[in-house]
Structures are given as C-alpha cells and as structure tokens.
Amino acid sequence: MNDFTASDQQFMNRAFELARQAERLGEVPIGAVLVEDGKIIAEGYNSPIGDNDPTSHAEIIVIRQAAKANLNYRLPKTTLYVTLEPCAMCAGALVHSRIERLVFAAKDAKTGACGSMFNVISSNDKNHRVKVEHGLMAKEAAKLLSDFFKRRRLEKKLKN
C-alpha cells in the first residue's frame, strides 16, 4: 500500500473539487492538478462535451496549461493528481511531458493505461518512466463516477 502524505490528500481533494465542477457541467467527473515544489501550477477537469474536443481530458488540459505557463513542453519534477486512472492518450502525454509522478484515485478497468488495461506509463521501452501510485480516495472516486453514470442512465431512460 502507498503511504500518502497530507499534501497528497490536499491535492487530491482539489482534484475532486474540479471533478465535481465537471459533473455540474454534465461532463464525466474527472479532475486533475499538477504540482511543482508543493504548489499547484495547473488544474482542470474533463470537458470534451463542452469543448467539442475528444482530447479535452483533465490531464491534457493540465499539461497544456503548465507547458504554456512554464514555456516548456517538458514538466520534470512535477506530480499529477487525477481522480481516475489515465487513458492511453493521457498516459502517453504524461510520458512525453516527463512528468515525474502520477497519483490517481480509482483504477479504470476499461480504458486505464497505467496498469489496469494497458501499461503505457511504465513500459521499459521508454526513455522516461513515470512513478505511479494509486488508491488515494479510490472508493470516493469510484462512487462519484458510478453515481454519475447511474443518473445519466436514469435520465436517458426517462427521456425515452
């Protein structure tokens, strides 16, 4: 089991606040924050529906913000906190941006690319490997997502 710090908890709590913001907008509730030297340097939430952009995942938004702010496409010595295990697209972006550490809450058995379905992050074929830790607030993340999709199915059923 991972030994998460009080700072890890604080940053994951912020990621959850962002996930709830996404949910209020009708987006899948996933939030992310990128931290460097103990400070949040970028934050975001899923918005592919609102943006009409399939790449508007929380992780991609955060990486883009941080790279622009730092004037560098590489983000070493950073930690990404996200409420759900990144997909293949996002995991690839983490590797390319040289993020040092990933902390995610819930595993994604369907599309998770950090060990659940695929393992893009830790492949020995890469010249950069991201340190991965998971399970911080996993139950809360799973419940948030499960409740969201239950409501969505119910709303769809009521429309028909």
Q: Where are the alpha helices (DSSP H) in the chain?
A: 6-24, 48-51, 58-70, 88-97, 138-159
- pLDDT above 60 (res 1): no
Q: How far apart are the first and last CA of the chain?
A: 45
Q: How far is CA 143 from CA 38, 94, 124, 133, 149, in A?
A: 28, 26, 33, 20, 10
59 is catalytic: yes
Catalytic residue among 27, 43, 59, 85: 59
pTM metric for this prediction: 0.94
Q: Which helix (H) or strand (E) holds 25?
A: none
Q: Could you report the per-residue pLDDT of 3-19, keeping only the tens digit for each?
A: 899 999 999 999 999 99
